[in-house]
Each structure stands twice: as structure tokens, then as C-alpha cells.
Amino acid sequence: MVLKARENCDKLKYKNVEFVLGDIEDMPFTEKIFDVVISNCVLNLVPDKTKAFREIFRVLKPGGHFCVSDVVIKGRLSEKMKKDAEMYA
């Protein structure tokens, strides 16, 4: 996905964007360096969400913004659906 994102930036001639491959639970950045953190359909897959949120807020500048878009379910899944591999993709 990082390679695809870089290719798209090149096509669109964006120069103010950088993509870094990393682990959301252990980000390779110093503290308080980002104005904005965007998470798009990632947090639902993270095993340790507390650690991920800790990292997100560690790298955000004071007054920074955090935007999240993710999958949410209302109600309960049947046992059959819980065991369906396609439900995790």
C-alpha cells in the first residue's frame, strides 16, 4: 500500500506528502511531530488498541487532530459469521 500511495503521489505531482512503513503500536517517529494523524480502516485490526492510541497521541503535536474511519458493528454476529474467514478481510 505504501508503494501504491507513492505511485499515486507521483502521478498527481504531490510534493508535500511522505509515506513511511511502520507499526501503529510502535511508530518509528519522535514525539509530537504531526499536526494530523489519519487512521482509515486500521484500528479494528490492531490487537492492542490501547498501545496504538498511546502511540497516536505520543506523535501528535499539542492541539493536533486525530481522524479515524473504521468498521463498526451494531448488534451481534452469529457464530457462523464469526468463524467465516471472509468476515476478517
| Residue 28 within any structural domain of the chain | yes
Tens of pLDDT, residue by residue over 25-74, are 999 999 999 999 988 888 988 999 999 999 999 999 999 999 999 877 88
| Residue 77 within any structural domain of the chain | no
| Residue 79 within any structural domain of the chain | no
Taking a C-beta distance cutoff of 8 angstroms, is the pair 32, 19 a contact? no
| Residue 85 within any structural domain of the chain | no
| Residue 43 within any structural domain of the chain | yes
Q: Which domain holds residue 53?
A: 23-72
| Residue 29 within any structural domain of the chain | yes
- Supply the pTM of this predicted model: 0.70
Taking CA atoms, 1 is separated from 4, 9, 16, 82, in Å, by: 5, 12, 18, 27
| Residue 48 within any structural domain of the chain | yes
Domain count, the chain: 1
Q: What is the DSSP letter of 45?
A: G
| Residue 16 within any structural domain of the chain | no
